[in-house]
């Protein structure tokens, strides 16, 4: 870390945007906002704005990608050119290809892929505005989109990051904290099965710090999960009201 950087945590122990170390950014979730897609979701997490859309399951094209014993999940994580300060080239970068792969691997365990052999589903995650932690927010939205598409799932998947900033373990890093801070640990969780499907670490943490960060991230995941479940149910709330009459 360079000494010139301004303090990321002030004397009161608050972060740049006034959050406490273990506080999440404000989250807004919406399900079923793209009528053309089989399933879709939108997430706002702080300044992050991300759309997720699911198409399928359908016949896999090209055919050689189909698996005779399971469904294939094809995932594209993409950042819009206008999602960051400096224009991002719309071509998929090395980073985006990797994140697409990581997101796919974190969602596949939650889907009953063996129920629909020889088919494929296409998942698109489009980052409209990015401010750190987009892969986690993307996973959270994608899980909702898959559930809304009526694809059978073992559990929803929810993701959240924790990290180390100014020698403090903090939850849900934003862009500056991620870049200037010393470590970032994104975690994806299947909350009911209590299974982790994604665990990465970027930076340096000692074993104790890592454990603290992981536990903090898991706590964050569980908080977001409640909102995720609420968002999914809200779409059908009108139905429930009819029922109560």
Partner 1 sequence: MPILFEKRQIVTPGELLAEGEYTAGENSYLEGNKIYASRIGLVNWDHKRVNVVALKGLYNPKIGDIVVGTVKEIGFSGWSIDIRSPYVANLRAADVLSRSFKPQNDELSQVLGIGDLIVAKISSYDRAHDPQLTVGEPGLGKVTRGQLMMVTPTKIPRMIGRKGSMVSTIKQETGCQIILGLNGIIIVTGKNPENEQLAMKAIQRIEDEAHTSGLTDRITQMLREEKAKREVSKNEEEK
Q: How far is the CB of 95 from partner 1 (least distance, A)?
A: 30
Q: Residue 166 Cβ, how far from partner 1 at the closest point, in Å?
A: 36
Cβ of residue 234: shortest distance to partner 1, in angstroms?
A: 10
Q: Which of 5, 192, 200, 206 binds partner 1 (CB under 8 A)?
A: 192
Tell me: does residue 223 bind partner 1 (CB under 8 A). no
Compute the least distance from the CB of residue 148 to partner 1, in Å. 7
Count of residues that interact with partner 1, criterion CB under 8 A: 33
- The least CB distance from residue 115 to partner 1, in Å, is 9
- Residue 56 in contact with partner 1, rule: CB under 8 A: yes
The least CB distance from residue 123 to partner 1, in Å, is 15
Q: How would you classify the pairing of strands 48-59 and 119-129?
A: antiparallel
Among positions 106-125, residues that touch partner 1 (CB under 8 A) are 110, 112, 116-119
HSE of 103, CA atoms in CB hemisphere, 13 A? 31
Give dist(CA 15, CA 5) in Å, integer.
14
Residue 155 as a binder of partner 1 (CB under 8 A): the answer is yes
- Binding residue (CB under 8 A) for partner 1 from 51, 102, 165, 232: 232
* Contact stretch for partner 1 (CB under 8 A) within 101-109, 163-171, 185-193, 213-221: 185-193
Contact flag: residue 153 with partner 1 (CB under 8 A): yes
Contact 196, 207 (CB under 8 A): no
Interacting residues of 216 by C-beta distance below 8 A, sequence separation 6+: 22, 162, 169, 170, 171
Biggest distance spanned by C-alpha atoms of the chain: 64
The residue within the footprint of partner 1, chosen from 77, 191, 213, 217 (CB under 8 A), is: 191
**Interface with partner 1 (CB under 8 A), residue from 29, 54, 107, 151:** 151
Chain contacts with partner 1 (rule: CB under 8 A):
56-59, 68, 110, 112, 116-119, 147-156, 190-193, 229, 232-233, 236, 239-240, 242-243
């Amino acid at each position: 870390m360079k000494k010139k950087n301004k303090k990321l945590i002030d004397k009161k122990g608050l972060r740049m945007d006034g959050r406490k170390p273990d506080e999440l950014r404000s989250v807004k979730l919406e399900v079923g906002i793209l009528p053309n897609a089989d399933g879709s979701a939108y997430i706002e997490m702080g300044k992050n704005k991300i759309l997720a859309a699911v198409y399928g399951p359908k016949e896999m094209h090209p055919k050689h990608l189909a698996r005779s014993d399971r469904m294939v999940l094809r995932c594209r994580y993409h950042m819009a050119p206008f999602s960051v300060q400096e224009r991002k080239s719309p071509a998929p970068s090395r980073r985006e290809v990797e994140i697409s792969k990581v997101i796919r691997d974190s969602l596949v365990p939650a889907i009953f892929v063996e129920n629909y052999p020889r088919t494929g589903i296409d998942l698109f995650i489009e980052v409209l505005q990015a401010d750190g932690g987009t892969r986690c927010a993307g996973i959270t939205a994608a899980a909702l989109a898959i559930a809304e598409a009526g694809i059978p799932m073992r559990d929803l998947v929810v993701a959240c990051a924790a990290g180390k900033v100014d020698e403090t373990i903090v939850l849900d890093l934003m862009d500056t904290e991620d870049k200037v801070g010393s470590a970032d640990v994104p975690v994806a969780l299947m909350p009911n099965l209590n299974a982790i499907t994604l665990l990465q670490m970027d930076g340096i943490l000692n074993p104790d710090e890592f454990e603290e960060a992981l536990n903090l991230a898991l706590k964050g995941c569980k908080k977001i999960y409640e909102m995720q479940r609420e968002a999914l149910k809200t779409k059908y709330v009108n139905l429930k009201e009819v029922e109560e009459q």
